[in-house]
């Protein structure tokens, strides 16, 4: 749709209620459902552990789908930009906390990952008016490793396979910390690039 001749095309506003944001909201809703399933399982009942794992895996998958839908169909909104990382961190954080609560994961691992994730989220809001920092390959690897490690801990695997879990989580922690430092560096570069030097302003 266009206005008068030569005018700029009118772009419709993206509705907040759209498929991408609905999936993000669903992910948030599934967080307490997942926690309840883990509590019911007490990490000792195989069937309930599998149910909890499936809920976690499905909720994690919605993160990939909602991002693709938002970009593919132009449904990116300010609400989505804020809600999406919150939903991600809520799901991962809840999983780590319950695993530590049931002594399946050392608390220091949970603390390190949560501090990094919270810090990155705060930095994202700090620089969002200057631009969006695209997800790096390291960030994507971090997310994949975290999800894989959590799934591995949730599943009632035989002892031999279960022993692989700590190694996957160790890799996740290393990549999580390294990408955290990388994100801070990229955020600082973005702010320096966007904030004009007052000494260079014409008088």
**What's the gap between Cα 27 and its chain centre?**
11
pLDDT for 194: 59
Q: Coil, strand or helix: which one is 155?
A: coil
Q: Quick one: pLDDT at residue 201?
A: 39
Task: Please state, in angstroms and rounded to a whole number, the distance separating the CA atoms of residues 59 and 53.
Answer: 10
The one-digit pLDDT tens for each residue of the chain (203 residues) are: 444 444 444 445 777 788 888 889 999 999 999 999 999 999 999 999 999 999 999 999 998 888 788 878 887 777 777 788 889 889 999 999 999 999 999 999 999 999 998 888 788 777 767 666 666 788 889 999 999 999 999 999 999 999 999 999 999 999 999 999 988 888 888 777 755 444 433 43
Report pLDDT for 9: 43
Give 96: exposed, middle or buried? Use CB within 10 Å, 0-12, 13-18, 19+: buried
pLDDT at 135: 65
Confidence at residue 138, expressed as pLDDT on a 0 to 100 scale: 83
Instruction: Please answer whether residues 116 and 176 qualify as being in contact, where contact means their C-beta atoms are separated by less than 8 angstroms.
Output: yes
Kindly state the tokens that stand for 15. Answer: 């509705």
């Amino acid at each position: 749709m266009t206005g008068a001749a030569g005018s700029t095309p009118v772009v419709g506003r993206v509705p907040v209620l759209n498929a991408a944001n609905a999936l993000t909201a669903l992910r948030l809703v599934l967080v307490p459902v997942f926690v309840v399933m883990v509590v019911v399982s007490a990490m000792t009942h195989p069937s309930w552990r599998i149910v909890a794992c499936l809920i976690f895996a499905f909720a994690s998958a919605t993160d990939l789908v909602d991002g693709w839908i938002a970009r593919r169909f132009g449904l990116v909104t300010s609400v989505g930009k804020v809600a999406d990382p919150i939903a991600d961190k809520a799901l991962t954080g809840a999983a780590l906390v319950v695993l530590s609560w049931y002594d399946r994961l050392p608390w220091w691992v949970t603390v390190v990952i949560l501090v990094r994730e919270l810090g990155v989220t705060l930095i994202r809001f700090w620089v969002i008016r200057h631009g969006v920092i695209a997800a790096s390959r390291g960030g994507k690897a971090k997310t994949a490793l975290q999800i894989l490690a959590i799934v591995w801990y949730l599943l009632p695997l035989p002892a031999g396979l279960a022993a692989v879990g700590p190694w996957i989580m160790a890799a996740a922690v290393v990549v999580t910390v390294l990408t955290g430092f990388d994100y801070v560096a990229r955020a600082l570069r973005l702010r320096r690039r966007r904030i004009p030097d007052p000494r260079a302003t014409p008088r």
